[in-house]
Amino acid sequence: MQPFRMHRGLVAPIDRENVDTDAIIPKQFLKSIKRTGFGVNLFDEWRYLDHGEPEQDAGMRRPNPDFVLNQPRYGGASVLLARKNFGCGSSREHAPWAIDQYGFRALIAPSFADIFFNNCFKNGLLPIVLPEQQVARLFDEVAAFVGYELTIDLERQVVVKPDGSELAFEVEPFRKHCLLGGLDDIGLTLRHADKIRAYEAERLLRKPWLAHSL
């Protein structure tokens, strides 16, 4: 998992409340057994005018020119600004996969659905909760200024605006530790690889028949 320490990026606004995971990545794309390739189908039903299916060539599809991510001013955005209860609905982990694989590194909203919030941290995304009034002001500023960027300093737990003012946010210490170190669940386990190997070797000495069990 890629570490998250400090990130500066262009902000793209999704000005809708209660965006559910089926809108983030529609159900037909869950057929894939791979964990990659979902970014092209992020917000698929809003992003394209035609119906999408897995493995479809996105270059042959009809993009919706009115959707925010298809507007040139938001090309290359890596900070997603959203309204309250973002990520509600079913608990599919494909939603943060699609957001990450599109190129976003952080999300800012007044609130997130619990399971989606947890899945973001497990996949290297930083979901930031800010007061609704602060988020509304960010929406106004993004709309007013083309090329609006934010700097996110995880170590200091602040979002730095273009004018230098800072918005503080909370993050649970263990989640912060994992993001700073780029540690997902597998990475956390592998930190103890030497102890695991030593335990397995010792166990085989005591129970050698396990080496031949299925």
| CB contact set of 202 (below 8 Å; sequence gap of 6+) | none
CB 38 within 8 A of CB 97: yes
Pairing of the two strands 158-160 and 149-153: antiparallel
Q: For residue range 3-25, what is the model confidence (pLDDT) as tens digits?
A: 999 999 999 999 999 999 999 99
pTM attached to this predicted model: 0.87
Architecture of domain 6-171: Alpha-Beta Barrel (3.20)
Q: Is the pLDDT of residue 196 over 90?
A: no
More confident residue, 2 or 149: 149
CB 38 within 8 A of CB 95: no
pLDDT at 136 (0 to 100)? 98
- Confidence band for 90, pLDDT divided at 50, 70 and 90: confident
The Cα–Cα gap between 48 and 65 comes to 8
**Domain boundaries of the chain, sorted by first residue:** 6-171, 184-214
Task: Please provide the average confidence, as pLDDT, over all residues in the chain.
Answer: 91
- Confidence band for 150, pLDDT divided at 50, 70 and 90: very high
> Rounded mean pLDDT of 189-205?
68
User: What's the distance, Cα to Cα, between the start and end of the chain in Å?
Assistant: 32
More confident residue, 83 or 184: 83
The Cα–Cα gap between 85 and 70 comes to 23
